[in-house]
Chain A
Amino acid sequence: MSGAIQKQGLSRNVIRFLALSPIILLILGDALLFQQNSDWRTFPILIFYIFLIIRYKIAANTTFLICLALFLFMYIHYIFSDPKVFATRYPLAPFGEKMAEWLYLFLVIGVIQKWQE
């Protein structure tokens, strides 16, 4: 598929954008549409991303750019919330907390990628 896209003359950045958009949307969907986190969503998304890394040879820095985006979501929610919102996960984890978990996971993936580059 990537070969086909490249033949059509799409730049590397566009490929990266097309590949990564679903990931960002899936993460946002997971954080915004569901009240509770679930490993049944988290791990398939991560596996899908790892598949994209292998398939489209996504660089570690791209993963860190996703981290930057996740960080921004997390930060914006954090500064516009009362500190008490982040005092407990009970009964529901706030949006920023879900983003923090995703940030952690993507940082780990990014560091592993960087090591392998």
Chain B
Amino acid sequence: MKKLFRFSKPKIFVSLICIVLFILPFFWLHTNELELGGDSSRLYMYDPDSFMQSDSLYSIEPGGIGALRSDQAMLPFLFLLKFFYFIFHSSYIVICLLNSLKLVGAFLFMYLIVVEILKKHAQENKMLLVEIAGILAGLFYTFSPSGGESMQFSLIVHNQVFLNPMVFYLLLRFLISQKNKYLWFAILTTLIFSPNFTLVVPSVYAFFPLAFIFLGLYVTFCLGKPLPLRKIFGGIILFLGLHAFHLIPTIMLIFDPGNILNTRIFDRSSIQNVGVDYFSSVVLHSMVTKSFFYSYSIPQTQWTVFIAPLSIILGFLISRAREKTFTLIALFFFITTFLQSANITYLGNAMYKMLFYIPGFSMFRNFPGWFMYVQTFFYALLLGYAFFLIFSKLKERIVYISSILIIGVFVFNSWKFISGQILRQPHRGTNNVSTIIQMDPAYEKILSYLRNLPDDGKIFDFPLTEFGYQVVPGLNRGAYIGPSPISFLTNRSDFAGNPILDPFSATLHNLIKEKNIDGIKRLFGLLNVKYIFYNSDPRAYEEFFPDVPNTVLLKLLPDSASLANLVDKIIGEKVVNFGTYNLYYADKNYYLPHFFVLTSVIPYDGKKIDLIGQNTSFFVDTKLTDPRIGYIDSQLCTQVLSSCKEGEIIYESDIPTITYQKINPTKYKVIVSNANAPFFLIFSDKFHTSWKAYMTNQEAEKLKIQGRYFDGRIQESYHENIFLNNKTFETLNMKSLPEAQHFTANGYANAWYITPGDFDGESNYEIIVEMTQQRAAYIGLIISFISIIIFMIYGVKILKNSALHQ
């Protein structure tokens, strides 16, 4: 009985800590508050269903000119969030639950790892010390700044705080016990949290290679057990099959020349600029001290940092010679400290820099941010072991007292994090504006309105920010600053900031500076901007944000009045307004629908003057009243039209009528009528050779019309968002227009030169414009779906066997 009590006491304590950690995040926010901002935003916590529809199903960026990208990895995680959202109907609860999961998972699994490792080396009568060491290591890890400081603005990869120890523990148990159920649960975890296990997430490469090497060495070298290689191989195959839905599209992008992933990995100048140079600037702020002393930079708590390094040195002093496990953990602590600090001698620094020339390594340019989680993991492991060694030399009563004191010091040191103050720090460069907001119902109404608009026109946001963000002030003195909710939650493309406006951001700034209203309208037309979204609340501009994120626009238009004056000159009719959120039409005389046929072609000498694409300021020069103009590189133009000469306008008079319908962001249907002569068809999404125009060779469908432009020469049907139906793969057997007839127009858009010969002289026909890279996503999904079925059957079999053995 006494033995049972002694055994169960730490377990009760662990359970109590887990309960406290679970409840804690619910006190960080009030029930009507949300914390959503940050680089990658957490809009998926706000409305997971809309996020999935807008962002994760398709290989097209939801905002701007529709660049190619892949975010399918979010899907399983979004299903999980949808499930919780369905139960609780509250973003507040979903946010708190995820934070709770991070805290409990981080503590529990770190505790379990330390106990699992130590119990192999401890005698029966030392098990209590093992448990105490595990608890202390778990708390040290959970409260560390690597997890705590990044809780504000946390990216999706922040989930690694609990995922790293969780997957590590399951794999450790698998390798020690060789029971398949641990491997099965580890793979299931990677599937549910697949955004943390994509090909392009640095956290995977920062932690798992080292973790695998550690586990392999621990099992073979320290425990003297063989590795179950066949089972490991089977696990890898299952992992690849389950993750195919995001691995395949991402691999396609990596080998897509010109794609940002391809450039980052293979382009030497990019490696130098984005990798090595960035590293050289970050390394100045990387300190070895921070790897030893964990603190939240509060002067009053600085003295508390001594516990971990002192305990480790004492642990080394007490340890026996050739203590394999302790030495192994120490080795990995040294490696990760070196990787996190990059400042261990100049030679070490130079060697580190050389690593950036390995293709793909430039993903670690912000190395302290990526390796801090890994360093903390091995630091906690080493500390747990050191505590055990120290406690082994002390009397039980002293162990209890010192453990309580240590916990007290950990809590005191991390109070900024534990109390939730870390989430309430203001946005940088603002007038003390909190990152926590109470959502404005007026903004929710405008989102809902935009979601239900029947057409496909794009939206331009004012104020225009510097980072591709939208600013949404809350009812309190707080604001969401992050990727545009219009893009990510309404399934509509909008231009919310300068990077999204590329290659035209500098041009727009010049036009605003020159007060060239006609030029701005013409540019909006060219970008397929149908609506102007304007938040007239001064809190979204200079009142709350005198510096960032509207930096450049503030230099041109220093206050809300001058911004209002500009907006007033460029807008058309009002569509709707809710509170300070106003939606206007852009000037209809300049509007160019998503698809249009050119009435005039202006060849120009293409100059590559920006990083992203070809751009010139051609569109402001013309005084043509009909905006259906195509600016085409004269070299490309001469390939299809012999009369192309730079500076000479070519007029197209015999043009067909077109009707178009959006099936989804990667597929459009275009019905062409009365096409008696060759014509240029423009599609205003970013040019890519994977956009193909398929000739359906079937009778043109009669579409229901909701919008007419240019005297009905262009008609728009009600747009849809069909991800999968019986027509999804209809283009597989269709012939596409030759690539020689496909080129860039207007500096970014897709243009096809279509002749009657392409359709056997027919004048009425149907074209399907499709992004063929989306097929990779479908193929991946099919593989993953089959793998999930196999995986689940296998899981049921494992659990059944496990139950039988018990």
Contacts and interface: CB of A to CB of B under 8 A. Distances in A.
Interface residues of A, number: 39
Interface string A58-84: 001100110110010011001100110
Contacts of B290: 86
Nearest to B350: A39
Given A64-B316, A64-B317, A117-B322, A101 B293 contact: no
B284 interface: yes
Interface in A12-63: 37-39, 42-43, 60-61
Contact of B321 (A60, A67, A100, A103): A60
Nearest to B288: A100
B697 interface: no
A79 B302 CA distance: 6
B321 A88 contact: no
A71 B330 CA distance: 17
Interface string B277-313: 0000001111111111101011100110110011001
Contacts of B291: 100, 104
A108 interface: yes
B142 to A, nearest CB: 22
Interface of A, helix, strand, loop or mixed by DSSP: helix
A103 B313 CA distance: 10
Nearest to A106: B313
Contacts of B299: 82-83
A111 interface: yes
B347 A39 contact: yes
Contacts of B293: 75, 78, 86
A113 B394 CA distance: 26
B774 to A, nearest CB: 46
A61 B317 CA distance: 5
A114 B345 contact: no
Nearest to B286: A89
A101 to B, nearest CB: 5
Given A71-B310, A114-B321, A104 B288 contact: yes
Given A97-B288, A111-B334, 7 more contacts: A43-B345, A78-B302, A86-B289, A89-B343, A100-B288, A104-B337, A105-B344
B285 A78 contact: no
A71 B327 contact: no
Contact of A104 (B285, B297, B334): B334
A117 B317 CA distance: 13
Contacts of B302: 78-79, 83
A75 to B, nearest CB: 5
A46 B439 CA distance: 59
Nearest to A98: B288
B347 A101 contact: no
Given A100-B292, A105-B344, A114 B316 contact: yes
B298 A83 contact: yes
A78 B285 CA distance: 16
B316 A67 contact: yes
A1 interface: no
12 contacts: A42-B345, A65-B317, A68-B310, A74-B292, A89-B283, A89-B285, A89-B286, A90-B284, A103-B288, A104-B334, A104-B337, A108-B334
B349 to A, nearest CB: 9
Contact of B316 (A43, A94, A111): A111
Nearest to A112: B327
Contact of B297 (A83, A100, A105): A83
A26 to B, nearest CB: 16
B736 interface: no
A4 interface: no
B381 to A, nearest CB: 15
B285 A88 contact: yes
B560 interface: no
A96 B289 contact: yes
B5 interface: no
Nearest to A101: B288
A57 to B, nearest CB: 14
B331 interface: yes
B346 interface: yes
A39 B351 CA distance: 13
A79 to B, nearest CB: 5
Given A39-B346, A64-B313, A78 B334 contact: no
B301 to A, nearest CB: 10
Most buried by B among A74, A83, A100: A100
A114 B309 contact: no
A86 B297 CA distance: 9
B346 A107 contact: no
B262 interface: no
Contacts of A79: 302-303, 305
Nearest to B289: A100
Nearest to A66: B313
A62 to B, nearest CB: 10
B508 to A, nearest CB: 36
B327 A115 contact: yes
B319 interface: yes
Contacts of B303: 79
Given A78-B293, A79-B303, A100 B327 contact: no
Contacts of B343: 89, 93, 101
Given A104-B337, A107-B334, A117-B322, A89 B309 contact: no
Interface pairs A-B: 9 shortest CB-CB:
A117-B321, A100-B288, A83-B297, A90-B284, A100-B289, A39-B346, A88-B285, A64-B316, A64-B317
Contacts of B295: 83
Contacts of A90: 284-285
A114 B287 contact: no
Nearest to B309: A71
Nearest to B296: A83
Nearest to A83: B297
A3 to B, nearest CB: 25
A110 B298 CA distance: 32
Contact of A111 (B286, B289, B327, B344): B327
Contacts of A75: 293, 305-306, 309
Contacts of B305: 75, 78-79
B313 A68 contact: yes
